[in-house]
Structure 1
Amino acid sequence: MNLFVGFLFVLILDFKIASIHATRKSIFYVSTVSVPESSPASAPIPSIPSSMANHQSKSSKKLVITLLTASSVMVIILLFAICLWKCHRKKAYKSNKTGMTKSDLNSFMTRSSGSMKTVTEKGSGSVVVMDYKLLESATDIFGESEILGEGGFGRVYRARMDENLCVAVKRLDDGSQDAIKEFQTEVDLLSKIQHPNIITLLGYCVHDETRLLVYELMHNGSLETQLHGPSNGSNLTWHCRMKIALDTASRGLEYLHEKCKPSVIHRDLKSSNILLDSSFNAKLSDFGLAVMNGAQNKNNIKLSGTLGYVAPEYLLDGKLTDKSDVYAFGVVLLELLLGKRPVEKLAASQCQSIITWAMPQLTDRSKLPNIIDPVIRHTMDLKHLYQVAAVAVLCVQPEPSYRPLITDVLHSLIPLVPVELGGSLKLPKTSSLVVTHP
């Protein structure tokens, strides 16, 4: 764009210089005709020689033609530059695959002074408090066309903060004490955590009874939508699924269990809480039920979770440990392998757990390939399939002490994920790795 502006400036400068030269020539031709200082009243006024008049007329015509030509060229170039600029802006908007990051937000805050402020939460975390009117406008007054998803918590909306910046806004309308506590837990926890495989909290807003959480936008939605939605897992290759499992186990749960001090138990790990960006990198989300390790035996910890993902010991006696997250991860791993929901309806009043149905076949190598999701069936090395199935079986053991640590799960999955996707598996150059567009 700068190149076109410079070109237009030079063109206008040349045009002005040409106009000055043409004007000077006209003045010169007229000044060569002298008028006597004193002459009789009856004396005729001397006329300009015809040859000189013709020359002046031709010069004027040339000047007009030059002006018209230059103006036309300038208009055409200006229109072309405007079209190019608009196309560039549109392309930039469409190619914005990462949504809004914290650095983008800082830049946006500078331009939107007065509508946001940064506050320090408990501990060392800080988070941006955003203006309700700004979010209301960015979501088209929380319009139906901007809904990305919904659940028991409320709805998630796409918010267009700027022509190149989009975020996800979770709107919580439940005014109960439990909902308020979950909201505060998520703000407190995510304001302290910055990790590539944990969703980034960009800000929040409290307006009357409505609470809003603002996150980075994940363009491929949730793992649940990808597996069980309209595409039925067709966007997820074998290696892509293994990458998602590795991202969830390694750069997600392993960070919470082993790197956070004190360690964090997610308590609600499920496929709908695993979000995918434009390259299918997985990020853990929804930390409203998360607890710090050591606080799980307090009386104020309410029994919570999602049917099909909750560990049996937690259901029976409320015992909560990091092994509860490992159990839930095992269920997610089975979803990735089998393409089935954790609980399937058999009849109007009858359901079946994916674990109950699959366990006898997961340990039988002759039957295992036949129950794999048809989308990825026969696309993987059988040895790798047996390894992943073995990991899943260990993770969903009824006895918590038999389940592996998430670090052990991580080390089991790394050799099954291609180097290009963050693992250690070396593939032939012709192998397909991952679908990058939904």
Structure 2
Amino acid sequence: MVVLSSSSSLIIKPDCPTKCGEIPISYPFGIGAGCYLDDWYAVNCRLSKPFLASINLELLNISLEANTILVNHPVFNTCVSTGDYKESANLENSPFFFSDTGNVLLGRGCYLLVYINHNETYAGCFCSCLIKGDATACLGNNCCHSTIPPFLQFFNASAEVTTEKPDIVKQCKLVFVVQEEWIVRKKWNPGNSKAVPVVLDWGIHYSSFHRLNTSTSRCNDFANSTSTNATLANKSFSTSTTASNSLVYKCNCKGGFQGNPFILQGCQGVAIGFPSLLLVLLGAWRLHIIIKRRKDIKLKDKYFKRNGGSLLQQLTSSDGNVNRSKLFNSKELDKATDHFNVDRILGRGGQGTVYKGMLADGKIIAVKKPKAIDERKIEEFINEVAILSQINHRNVVKLLGCCLETEVPLLVYEFIPNGTLYQYLHAQNEEFPLTWERRLQIAVEVAGALSYLHSSASLPIYHRDVKSANILLDDKYRAKVADFGTSRSIDIDQTHVTTKVQGTFGYLDPEYFRSSQFTDKSDVYSFGVVLLELLTGQKPIISIGLEEGKSLVNHFMDSMQEDNLFDILDPQVKQLGKKEEIVTIANLANSCLNMNGKKRPMMKEVAMVLEGIQTSSQKDNGNVQQDYEEAEHERIEITECWDVVSTSTG
């Protein structure tokens, strides 16, 4: 172990152990006093097994290059008495995070909804039981898996059976976060394991950098910098800021060096020894640049072909409705987003990260950078891009094009400046209060957009993630339906699409949960939840009061049955809305949320009813109920009683 100079505030002992059993221990981690940076990285060696003392988990591996560690983490297993462990290790305020790229959420059981949650951040999936026996691949039958949210430091695990069959209720239920590579080796089955390997991302708290004294490490640049955090993030260093209250940085050796960046002279590389070598090295550097440019060109071409560029070109040349200029190059998007600067991030989601950008002509855009895309689904992705690029509706966020020259395809959308409906509903904005007229206008616009997608697009398109967070408001506060990352188009003669269950808790159609078959009526159900948000101002999973943790749908249904609708309304709605209009929209939401999808109205019928309410609202006589009943009698028949009590999807 290298000893730091006396000018440093930390002296590393020269006789620090470098292994515990067969596991190498590298600084800033260490065994014994004076061998680690601070208490977060202290390692206890027990019976030749290392344990990270700060979080009390067995340490399986340390990667300085990737800034990850591998630990053994408990499994929630109802069949093992000692494994009934519903809470994760608590990493809050630590420099450790459950890796969203190295782990997945895994569940096993029949007719089982499994999920984890923390501070209203959810991730989960549904296990059906269509085929008996143990599968060797986790494809939704008796087993399911899902991604986890980024920057997660604590969660609760839950497993809910969605049937009342006694033999299913008594089944073993498993839910756990696990290293993605491990599930391939174990064929998705942990057996009676009490713990499984989990990947943790880690870094160094900014407050600890003054204790490092390195010469070739990038950490040294951080430690000696007096710049602001934003400036640090803009430097070409390997930095990573987290969503926690503290800044955490990931450190690597500079280009051309390798080793341990946390100790003095820990990064070793080639240096110029004699002036006579200068010209040779300069020539080698120039040759390196030329070779690198050629490799970049070849790599872009490789990505373009792999990401379906040839197929998209065929589609654009054969279809006059698709503009070939919709293919952006990686250089212009990199420049537009300031190299995908963290300061340009508009939002993060399960599908990827969205950045704000500006093109050379001054046009403001939103660039979506997906996490990953399955190469087997590239053709499906390209077909979706071609279809979505043809959508031209005033209340749908327009897809301007895509870039296929990068490892994962980038999607380019028009920029919508005024945030999401979710923000205005659940974080009241005094500058723009959501009056009853505005709520009704937004409902009309969203319903019209979904009706267009279902019934008027060249091929029917199911959105599959309708929620208030995916409804944006433009500069005139008009609604724009966004985020088609999970959308699917279908042939006109199809009635549904069978997929792995995806979506957002609180909005998901229970019928879709049971069958894995998504129909246009599944979008109708999700829109019904949005109507409830507009009426009540409550979140899909209620987070305050006596009903905390209960689904908004169940709360609404109970209130309807008890004739207490007006007790759960948002004060703005109760004060400014007309009673007849409120009751009519509540009945419409009731129809949209019917447990039987066939009894729900079509989106075009929902849009017609809402437009009728809006038109009637603008008349002086205000006879909304009469106009609605006449329109319903003439055009549609949608009002159904809620004949089955909904179960919570959260």
> Normalising by structure 2, what TM-score?
0.43
Pair 1:258 & 2:450 matched: no
Structure 2 residue identity aligned to 1:270: K
Q: Give the whole-Å Cα distance in 2 for the aligned partners of 1:316 and 1:219.
A: 38
**Runs of 5+ unmatched residues, structure 1:** 1-117, 418-422, 429-438
Structural mapping, 1:116-155, within 5 Å: 119=313, 121=315, 124=319, 125-127=321-323, 128-155=326-353
Matching residue of 1:351: 549
The structure 1 residue matched to 2:617, chosen from 425, 428, 434, is 425
Matching residue of 1:382: 579
Matching residue of 1:287: 484
Q: Give the whole-Å Cα distance in 1 for the aligned partners of 2:529 and 2:380.
A: 24
Pair 1:246 & 2:440 matched: no
Contact 1:139 1:158 in 2 (8 A): yes
Q: Give the whole-Å Cα distance in 2 for the aligned partners of 1:413 and 1:287.
A: 24
Structure 1 residue identity aligned to 2:394: P
Summarize the Cα distance change of 1:145–1:266 in structure 2 as closer, same or farther, 3 Å threshold. same
Matching residue of 1:278: 475
Structure 1 residue identity aligned to 2:322: S
Summarize the Cα distance change of 1:173–1:323 in structure 2 as closer, same or farther, 3 Å threshold. closer
Matching residue of 2:466: 269
Kindly state the Cα deviation for residue 290 of structure 1 after the two structures are TM-superposed.
2.2
SS at match of 1:409: helix
Structure 1 residue identity aligned to 2:439: R
Summarize the Cα distance change of 1:193–1:219 in structure 2 as closer, same or farther, 3 Å threshold. same
1:219-254 superposed Cα distances (whole Å, 9 cap, x missing partner): 11222222224639953211111111111112x111
Matching residue of 2:422: 224
Higher helix proportion = 1
SS at match of 1:341: coil
Q: Give the whole-Å Cα distance in 1 for the aligned partners of 2:561 and 2:405.
A: 53
Q: Give the whole-Å Cα distance in 2 for the aligned partners of 1:142 and 1:193.
A: 27
Summarize the Cα distance change of 1:258–1:297 in structure 2 as closer, same or farther, 3 Å threshold. closer
Structure 1 residue identity aligned to 2:520: D
Summarize the Cα distance change of 1:398–1:165 in structure 2 as closer, same or farther, 3 Å threshold. same
Q: Give the whole-Å Cα distance in 2 for the aligned partners of 1:181 and 1:374.
A: 49
Matching residue of 1:205: 403
Q: Give the whole-Å Cα distance in 1 for the aligned partners of 2:480 and 2:458.
A: 20
Q: Give the whole-Å Cα distance in 1 for the aligned partners of 2:539 and 2:487.
A: 23
Structural mapping, 1:48-67, within 5 Å: none
Q: Give the whole-Å Cα distance in 2 for the aligned partners of 1:236 and 1:133.
A: 41
Summarize the Cα distance change of 1:269–1:363 in structure 2 as closer, same or farther, 3 Å threshold. same
Kindly state the Cα deviation for residue 407 of structure 1 after the two structures are TM-superposed.
2.1
Q: Give the whole-Å Cα distance in 1 for the aligned partners of 2:401 and 2:369.
A: 12
Matching residue of 1:372: 569
Q: Rg larger in 1 or in 2?
A: 1
Q: How much identity, in percent, do the aligned residues show?
A: 36
Pair 1:309 & 2:309 matched: no
Structure 1 residue identity aligned to 2:367: V
Q: Which has the higher contact order (CA 8 A, sep 6+)?
A: 1
Q: Give the whole-Å Cα distance in 1 for the aligned partners of 2:477 and 2:554.
A: 29
Q: Give the whole-Å Cα distance in 1 for the aligned partners of 2:562 and 2:431.
A: 24
1:130-188 superposed Cα distances (whole Å, 9 cap, x missing partner): 12221122212222222211111221111122574211111123244488577535412
Summarize the Cα distance change of 1:131–1:319 in structure 2 as closer, same or farther, 3 Å threshold. closer
Matching residue of 1:431: none
Summarize the Cα distance change of 1:184–1:307 in structure 2 as closer, same or farther, 3 Å threshold. farther
Structural mapping, 1:67-106, within 5 Å: none
RMSD: 2.8
**Runs of 5+ unmatched residues, structure 2:** 1-311, 621-650
Summarize the Cα distance change of 1:424–1:234 in structure 2 as closer, same or farther, 3 Å threshold. same
**Bigger mean CA deviation after superposition, 388-397 or 134-143:** 134-143
Contact 1:171 1:212 in 2 (8 A): yes
Q: Give the whole-Å Cα distance in 2 for the aligned partners of 1:158 and 1:364.
A: 47
Structural mapping, 1:398-437, within 5 Å: 398-417=595-614, 423=615, 425-426=617-618
Contact 2:531 2:589 in 1 (8 A): yes
Contact 1:173 1:210 in 2 (8 A): yes
Q: Give the whole-Å Cα distance in 2 for the aligned partners of 1:424 and 1:132.
A: 50
Q: Give the whole-Å Cα distance in 2 for the aligned partners of 1:181 and 1:246.
A: 34
Structure 2 residue identity aligned to 1:280: Y
Summarize the Cα distance change of 1:282–1:335 in structure 2 as closer, same or farther, 3 Å threshold. same
1:301-336 superposed Cα distances (whole Å, 9 cap, x missing partner): 332222211111110012322111111110111111
SS at match of 1:352: coil
Kindly state the Cα deviation for residue 269 of structure 1 after the two structures are TM-superposed.
1.3
| Number of residue pairs matched by the alignment | 301
The structure 2 residue matched to 1:167, chosen from 354, 365, 370, is 365
SS at match of 2:549: strand
Matching residue of 2:538: 340
Kindly state the Cα deviation for residue 129 of structure 1 after the two structures are TM-superposed.
0.9
Contact 1:186 1:286 in 2 (8 A): no
Q: Give the whole-Å Cα distance in 1 for the aligned partners of 2:364 and 2:544.
A: 41
SS at match of 1:126: coil
Kindly state the Cα deviation for residue 216 of structure 1 after the two structures are TM-superposed.
0.8
SS at match of 2:438: helix
Contact 1:233 1:375 in 2 (8 A): no
Summarize the Cα distance change of 1:372–1:356 in structure 2 as closer, same or farther, 3 Å threshold. same
Structure 1 residue identity aligned to 2:617: L
Contact 2:352 2:368 in 1 (8 A): yes
Summarize the Cα distance change of 1:216–1:368 in structure 2 as closer, same or farther, 3 Å threshold. same
Q: Give the whole-Å Cα distance in 1 for the aligned partners of 2:376 and 2:463.
A: 17
Summarize the Cα distance change of 1:120–1:239 in structure 2 as closer, same or farther, 3 Å threshold. farther
Summarize the Cα distance change of 1:230–1:411 in structure 2 as closer, same or farther, 3 Å threshold. closer
The structure 1 residue matched to 2:387, chosen from 180, 189, 211, is 189
Contact 1:186 1:288 in 2 (8 A): no
Higher strand proportion = 2
Matching residue of 2:206: none
Structure 2 residue identity aligned to 1:142: F
Summarize the Cα distance change of 1:213–1:353 in structure 2 as closer, same or farther, 3 Å threshold. same
Q: Give the whole-Å Cα distance in 2 for the aligned partners of 1:397 and 1:188.
A: 34
Structure 2 residue identity aligned to 1:353: S
Contact 2:426 2:537 in 1 (8 A): yes
Matching residue of 1:321: 519
